[in-house]
Chain A
């Protein structure tokens, strides 16, 4: 069971200036969807954008709080 606010904060801390929204897809708290718009994504491939997001929350995968995280990334306009 992950703390959504904590996950959002972890992503925001790794990507300063990012707009981050994390929602619980199943209601069980372990399958999450993150929508992230970050200036750091500029010029990166999608896979690298996703790597940045996943790396930010790696600790919560490793401790089992999250099982699945869908990620949608965008470069802010």
Chain B
């Protein structure tokens, strides 16, 4: 069972924040590796986002997101009101450039948030004088 008032509040938050991350912990101090991976992607892509720590109300929020999005696990990234995915999907879409597209931003030059091999530096843009 889910709490209808909490559901309403969550729906308001999703509607009010174009990019909203439900995570364990905070962006400054993630409390779960999967949440940390999504934060790293969002920081790398340099987009403004809202973050909600689910840990203080984990079970009630799980019940609500199950109801709203048919998704039980956290992190969950919502973009323009729709659940985009958890850590696996966010990373996959980041690497393919689909995430930047969905967020309406440019794909950053460095494609790996951590540990990955950085691509060769891009040649500077041509200048027209």
Contacts and interface: CB of A to CB of B under 8 A. Distances in A.
Interface of A: 46-47, 50-51, 61, 70-72
Interface in B67-108: 70-72, 83-86, 88-89, 92-93
Contacts of A46: 84-85, 89, 92-93
B85 A72 contact: no
Contacts of A51: 70-71
By size class, the interface of chain B is 10 to 19
Contacts of A50: 85-86, 88-89
A47 B84 contact: yes
B71 A71 contact: no
A71 B84 CA distance: 14
Main secondary structure on A side of the interface with B: helix
A36 to B, nearest CB: 12
A47 B88 contact: no
A72 B86 CA distance: 12
Nearest to A46: B89
Contact of B83 (A47, A70, A71, A72): A47
Contact of A70 (B71, B84, B88): B88
Contacts of B93: 46
14 contacts: A46-B84, A46-B85, A46-B89, A46-B92, A46-B93, A47-B71, A47-B85, A50-B86, A50-B89, A51-B70, A61-B72, A70-B88, A71-B88, A72-B88
B71 to A, nearest CB: 7
Contacts of B72: 61
B120 to A, nearest CB: 27
A50 B85 CA distance: 9
Nearest to A74: B92
A5 B72 CA distance: 24
B93 to A, nearest CB: 7
A71 B85 CA distance: 11
Contacts of A72: 88, 92
